[in-house]
Each structure stands twice: as C-alpha cells, then as structure tokens.
Amino acid sequence: MKKTYRAMQATKPGMLEMVERPTPVPDAGQVLIEVEACGICGADVSDIEGAAPTLQSPRVPGHEVVGRIAAIGAGTPSIWKIGQRVGVGRLGGHCNKCPQCRRGQFQLCQNQPIVGASCEGGYAEMMLARSTGLISIPDELNAEEAAPILCAGVATFNALTKSGAEAGDVVAVLGIGGLGHMALQYARRMGFKVVAAGRGTDIADDALALGAHVYIDTNQEDAAARLQAMGGAKAIVTTIGNTAVVSALLRGLAPQGRLIVLGVGKDPLPISTGQLVVGERSIAGSITGSPYENEKALDFSVLTGVRPMIETMPLENAFIAYQRMKRGDVKFRMVLTMGQTRDVR
C-alpha cells in the first residue's frame, strides 16, 4: 500500500486544490477504501462553496464513492473483506444506538456523518468509511456506472417506491437532469405511465429515449392542466429547487396523489391547503437511502438495465468537472476516475 495518496480538497469557498496526504489507518469499525470512481453531485456545491458554517476546512468533498477495501479496522463485521468492491453514499454510516436506528430507520440516523461534508469524501485515491455505511457493489456494474446510483439512483428509486403509485398509474418527473434522467428510467421499468416535465424542447428527445411516454415543455404548456387531462398524476417526483414551479404543478395530482420532494430550494413551498384537503393529496420528502436500500437500487439497475449517462474526468481535473456540473454543461452526470479516464454512455 502506498504511504501517501492524492486528494482534491476544498481549502476556501468555491476552490479545489490537489494535495498529497499520508495514507490513514482505519480505526475500530472503519475500513480504508482505495477509490476507483467518485460521482460529482449537485449537493457537492454546498460542501465546496462552504455554505454551512459548521463544516471544517480543508475537507475532501464527494459522496458517490466506489472502490475496494484496502484495510480493515478492528471490530468490523466479517462480511467485509480486503479487496471487496464497496461503495459509500451521502449517508456515512448509522450509529446503531439512536431511536431511529433502534426502529430500523437507518437512513434517518441523527448520529451519522455526512460524506463530503462532516467527514472526508471521495475526491481522493483513498477514503476512510464507517463499516455501517458500506454498500456492496454488483460485479455487473463498473465503478463509473455504479457511483451515481449511490446518490441520484437511490434517491429517485426510493422516491418512486414510496410514492404509492402502482403499475399503470401516471407518474410525472419534474426536472430532467442528473436525478431526473435516473427517475425516468426507473419509472418506466416499474410499469408506470411516465410523464417528463422540463423547460424547453432541447431535452425532449432525451426524455423520451430514457423512458418517458410523454414530454411536457413547461415553458410552452400548463403542465398541471396537461396532467389533469390525463386523469391526474398518482405521483409527482420533483428534482428541482424552484418552489414556484413545484407549487404550480400540484394541481396536476390526482385525488390521493402524492408529491415527492427531492430537490431542495431556499424558498418555502407555497401550497393550497384546499388542494390537499379536498383531494386527500399529500406531500412528502425523501432522503437518499440506507446501505440496504442502495443495494436494492443497484440490483434493480442490473436486472432492468438502468444505467446513468455519464462523462468521466481524471481526479486532477476535479475542479474543471465541478465547474461544468455547476453550469449544467454535462449530460447527465460527471464522474471522477482515479486511473485512466474513459467515457461511459
């Protein structure tokens, strides 16, 4: 094992720099991962820009991490072996002690680190991780393909499974980007009538190719009225942070329909209480998922052929890749590689 490793760290808001660090030794209950790929997510913006004053600097961002176990700390469960392929998502490993963990709600554990924010992430050749946060990676997926599924994939997969929709129901996806392009694929393979809603016509062909039966350009059409003309959506999964657009689409829900919120916005979400009460409609948030839920999303992806559309760049170009992600100049996910770069489409 190398004595040092390369990492891209955020030393001041909005900037990344390459550094060489000594290779750490895992503590009890930890493993050391030799990283092979790490996806770049929209949530990385707050980590790199330093939006949260509690975040310590310098820190290594990145929470869509895939690699192999290089070293194991004492007390780590025997299911994890040296050389095993594993991943880590945004949730860095539950504590097994808090009330949420005792209920089996590991994704809601209040004592787990947030990867890339409150603990070091995967823009690096090596990374420490809690064993409770580890995800087994199927052999059928390469590291670059698997990485975005650990965040964008599981987030949309879980949202759809929690939506209350059944096969044949109308399900709408608002926002066709890194999250939305995964949601369309999952929704189609789950047997829903899939409606994609986005701004402009430039994304229409992609949305239909990814699995949408219908595309609605919200710049040209009243999306809520179109959904109501189809009988209403049993579920709407929103991946955007523009709360005004999300609020306007609420009228498109069928009675007892559910809005699942994935996109986080700064502004409050204005809602009509009448729409909720009269139609028994509901609104719910959905977090990424536990390691077990991640493994279900990965297995479903293998079984049904769902894959993220990605572009790869080497670790040393992380800042360039991050800037492209910020301005929306990637279709649809950017993934950092620790070895030779290659594209996966």
pLDDT digits (tens, 9 = 90+) for 119-170: 999 999 999 999 999 999 999 999 999 999 999 999 999 999 999 999 999 9
Question: Nearest-CA neighbor of 154 among 252, 278, 289, 31?
Answer: 289
Instruction: List pLDDT tens digits, range 10-54.
Output: 988 889 999 999 999 999 999 999 999 999 999 999 899 875 555
φ and ψ of 116, to 5 deg:
85, -10
The angle formed by the CA atoms of residues 17, 23 and 29, to the nearest 5 degrees, is 115
61 found inside a domain:
yes
Same domain, 116 and 68: yes
Same domain, 205 and 259: yes
User: Other CB atoms closer than 10 Å to residue 314's CB: what's the count?
Assistant: 14
User: How far apart are alpha carbons 26 and 329 in whole angstroms?
Assistant: 37
Residue 265 has pLDDT above 90, yes or no: no
Pairing of strands 253-261, 282-285: parallel
Range of the domain at 251: 163-285
Same domain, 262 and 317: no
Same domain, 136 and 228: no
Which amino acid is present at 81? K
Label residue 109 by pLDDT band (50, 70, 90). very high
Q: What is the CATH number of the domain that holds 205?
A: 3.40.50.720
Q: What is the CATH number of the domain that holds 48?
A: 3.90.180.10
Same domain, 130 and 169: no
As a whole number, mean pLDDT of residues 285-309 equals 97
In the chain, pLDDT over 70 holds for what percent of residues? 96
What is the per-residue burial (b if ≥16 Cβ within 10 Å, else e) of 84-116? bbbbbbbbbbbeeebebbeeeebbbbeebbbbb
Q: What is the mean pLDDT of the chain?
A: 94
325 found inside a domain:
yes
Same domain, 65 and 111: yes
Residue 115 has pLDDT above 90, yes or no: yes
Label residue 318 by pLDDT band (50, 70, 90). very high
Residue 235 has pLDDT above 80, yes or no: yes
Label residue 343 by pLDDT band (50, 70, 90). very low
Same domain, 254 and 320: no
Same domain, 277 and 319: no
Determine the pLDDT at residue 342. Answer: 43
Residue 95 has pLDDT above 60, yes or no: yes
Instruction: List pLDDT tens digits, range 68-89.
Output: 999 999 999 999 999 999 999 9
Token pair in block for residue 113:
């680190």
Same domain, 14 and 59: yes
Determine the pLDDT at residue 56. Answer: 66
The domain tally of the chain equals 2
Same domain, 79 and 128: yes
As a whole number, mean pLDDT of residues 195-201 equals 95
